Copies of this chain bind each other. A is one copy, B any other.
Amino acid sequence: MTGAVPQGYDFDGETQLTPAGAGVFEVEISDRWSGLASVNGGFLMATCLKALATGLPFPDPVTVSGLYLRPGNAGASVVRTEVIRAGRTTAFGEAHLLQAGKEVLRVTSAFADLSAAAPESGATPQYAGGTPPKLPAPEDCLRLSGISAISMAKRFEYRAPAMPGWMTGSPSGDPFAEFWMRFADGRPADALTLPFIVDAAPPAVLELGVSSTTIELTVHVRARPAPGWLACRTSTRFVSGGYHEEDFEAWDSTGVLVAQSRQLALVRPLGPLSLSPGASMPGRLPWAES
């Protein structure tokens, strides 16, 4: 089973589900997990996963995909869940998040028990063709704090060895970043919140001078994270035809890859004033120089 998360953390308190029929839940979406334009997509995905987890026999969403149909808003919402199939080792489910009767997000996911697939069993090979970001210790990094208009930026702590180029008004031209990340209130990351965390950092395309709106996000949760900071790496390799992909890796404090994600997103214009603290801009922009 997933380790129990102590009560009292913001994420848990603000994603409380009220049963409203078989597989249906009511949830009040908070305004405290938003970018400037709308509620963060990863937050909505994690809310759906929390609802799905109540009906599936395994605790860990090893893969989850979401289609972002409309911008999500704060306020009264409904999550409808379906158990597609519960097999011997893998269970599949689907969830719909609705606001004012309109579907905002559709999520499909496969759950399993990551503690059962123990790497030390020797039954399968281990292979790592990549390593965690090489970062100075978090206490030797700069703390990047939030634009006041982006409520989500206060709910995470981000640390990096240097200010990103886009934050200083000089996008680097290289859509790549490495940094530390954790919940600001000390909540440990877990399998159900990793799909939120991979979407809760600034898009790498800010280094190209543009912003981004997610169409689809797929997350693989590869292991349950150990407590502590997550070392994160975000990158975009291809911007073409108005679209870009973004990849995200999260590594736990013991050097284990715990999540891999990729999203397809629309490129959005970024006005010249948009990087200033408090400025209004579309899309995801969870952190910036304070």
**A interface residues (Cβ-Cβ under 8 A, vs B):** 62-63, 65, 67, 69-70, 84-85, 87, 90, 92, 94, 103, 106, 108-110, 114, 117-119, 123-130, 175, 208-210, 215-216, 218, 220, 222-223, 235-245, 256-257, 260, 262, 264, 267
Q: Give the chain B neighbours of A85 by CB distance below 8 A.
A: 69-70, 103
Shortest C-beta distance, A73 to chain B (Å), equals 16
Give complex CA distance A238, B223 in Å: 12
Asked if A106 meets B128 with Cβ closer than 8 Å, knowing A90-B215, A240-B257, the reply is no
Chain B's closest residue to A120 (CB) is B241
Give complex CA distance A134, B125 in Å: 29
Asked if A110 meets B62 with Cβ closer than 8 Å, knowing A124-B210, A241-B118, A245-B220, the reply is no
A240 lies within 8 A of B119 (CB)? yes
B175 lies within 8 A of A127 (CB)? yes
A237 touches which one: B94, B130, B208, B216 (CB < 8 A)?
B130
Give complex CA distance A124, B94 in Å: 34
Give complex CA distance A119, B239 in Å: 9
Chain B's closest residue to A109 (CB) is B67
Q: Give the chain B neighbours of A108 by CB distance below 8 A.
A: 65, 67, 106, 108
Asked if A218 meets B127 with Cβ closer than 8 Å, knowing A117-B241, A241-B114, the reply is no
Give complex CA distance A223, B264 in Å: 13
Q: Give the chain B neighbours of A264 by CB distance below 8 A.
A: 62-63, 110, 220
A127 touches which one: B114, B126, B238 (CB < 8 A)?
B238
Give complex CA distance A127, B84 in Å: 39
Chain B's closest residue to A207 (CB) is B127
Sample (8) of A-B pairs whose CB atoms are under 8 Å apart: A63-B264, A94-B106, A117-B243, A124-B210, A124-B242, A130-B237, A220-B245, A220-B264
